[in-house]
Amino acid sequence: MFYKKKGLPEENAVVICTVKKILFHSIFVELDEFQNLEGMIHISEIAPGRIRNIRDYVKEGKKLVCQVLRVDKEKRQVDLSLRRVPFSLRNKKNEEYKQEIKSEKLLEYIGKELKIDLKTAYQRMGYALIEHFGLLGIAFSDISAEGMDAIKELKFPKEDAEVLVRIVQEKIKPIEVEVHTTLSLQSFTETGVEEIKKALHEGELYAKKHEINAHITYISAPKYRVEVFSTDYKTGEEELEEVCKVIVESVHKAKGTAEVLKKK
C-alpha cells in the first residue's frame, strides 16, 4: 500500500506484518501499515507448545497478523505475538486490510478522473478522509450511503467532492440488511376489515414520512408481514419497531387485537 501510518502502534493493537528474516529463536518482520518500522516475534510467541523449527510455521515474505506486546519508543522497537491473535480477529484484520487495498485503488481511480496521481489524491482528500473516518473503506461506505452529507465537514473543493461522491456511489452500493416480523391483527367490529386496512396504511405513511424503507404484505388472515430494509441491523430493528408500534396502536384504538408473532 502507498499509505503508511506515521509513528508507532499502540500496545495490544493488531497489525499486519511481512516476514523479512527468520533466525533460530526469532522472526523479524516489517509492519506493513507503518513507515519504515520493523518488529520482532520471539519463538515463544509464534505458537503454543514447543517449536523445533520456526520454518515449519512461517517463511520469508509471508503475511502475518500479530498483536503488539511492547513498544520501545526511544529505540523504535516493537515486540509482537503471533499466537495471541484469535482466529476470528485474524480474519477480521485480514479482511480490513484487503478492503483498504481495494479502497486505495478506488482513490487512485478517482485521482485519474481529476488528472492527479495517487500521492496527490492522498494529499487533496485521502489523508483527510482517513483522519475523519479512521479508514478509507469506512469513508467510502459512508459516502456511498450519504453522498455529499458524509463529507460536508471536510470542505473539499467542489470539483474534488463531486468527482469523489459520483465515483464512490457508482462503484460501491450501500450494504442493505432486512429485518422482518409477523403481526396478527384482528378486529371483530362491523368495520373491522377497514380498521385493519387503516392501521396498515398508517404504518406505511409513518415509514414514508420518516424515510424508512418498509414493506407490508398480507400472508393469510389474520397475519401480516412487515419488512424493513436498512444499512445495519440495529437501525433496521429500531425502524421496524417504530412502524409496528404505529400499526398496533391504531388497531388497539379500533378495539381490535394486535400481536407480534415472530421477529427476525
pLDDT, tens digit, 9 for 90 and up, residues 108-161: 999 999 999 999 999 999 999 999 999 999 999 889 988 999 999 999 999 999
User: What is the pLDDT confidence band of residue 262, given thresholds at 50, 70 and 90?
Assistant: low
**pLDDT recorded at residue 232:** 81
Which string of DSSP letters, residue by residue, matches the chain? Answer: ----B-S-PPTT-EEEEEEEEE-SSEEEEEETTBTT-EEEEEGGGTSSS--S-GGGT--TT-EEEEEEEEEETTTTEEEEESTTS-HHHHHHHHHHHHHHHHHHHHHHHHHHHTT--HHHHIIIIIHHHHHHHSSHHHHHHHHHHHGGGGTGGG---HHHHHHHHHHHHHH-PPP-EEEEEEEEEE--STTHHHHHHHHHHHHHHHHHHTT-EEEEEEEETTEEEEEEEESSHHHHHHHHHHHHHHHHHHHHHTT-EEEEEEE-
Q: Each residue of 85-116: pLDDT tens digit?
A: 999 899 999 999 999 999 999 999 999 999 99
177-263 belongs to which CATH class?
alpha beta
User: What is the pLDDT confidence band of residue 19, given thresholds at 50, 70 and 90?
Assistant: very high
**pLDDT recorded at residue 37:** 96
Please give the model's pTM, rounded to 2 decimal places. 0.67
Quote the mean pLDDT of the chain: 93
At residue 96's C-alpha, the angle toward residues 92 and 101, to 5°, is 150
**129 closest CA partner among 70, 45, 137:** 137
Q: Each residue of 219-256: pLDDT tens digit?
A: 888 999 999 988 788 899 999 999 999 999 999 998 89
**pLDDT recorded at residue 115:** 97
- In the chain, the N- to C-terminal Cα span, in Å, equals 40
In this predicted structure, the answer to whether residue 76 has a pLDDT above a threshold of 90 is yes
Query: Any idea where the domains of the chain sit in the sequence?
Result: 14-85, 88-171, 177-263
Burial (CB count within 10 angstroms: exposed 0-12, middle 13-18, buried 19+), residue 227: middle
**Sheet holding 257-263: strands in order across?**
213-220, 223-230, 177-186, 257-263
CA distance 187 to 211: 29
**Superfamily designation of domain 88-171:** Translation initiation factor 2; subunit 1; domain 2 (1.10.150.190)
The CATH code that applies to domain 14-85 is 2.40.50.140
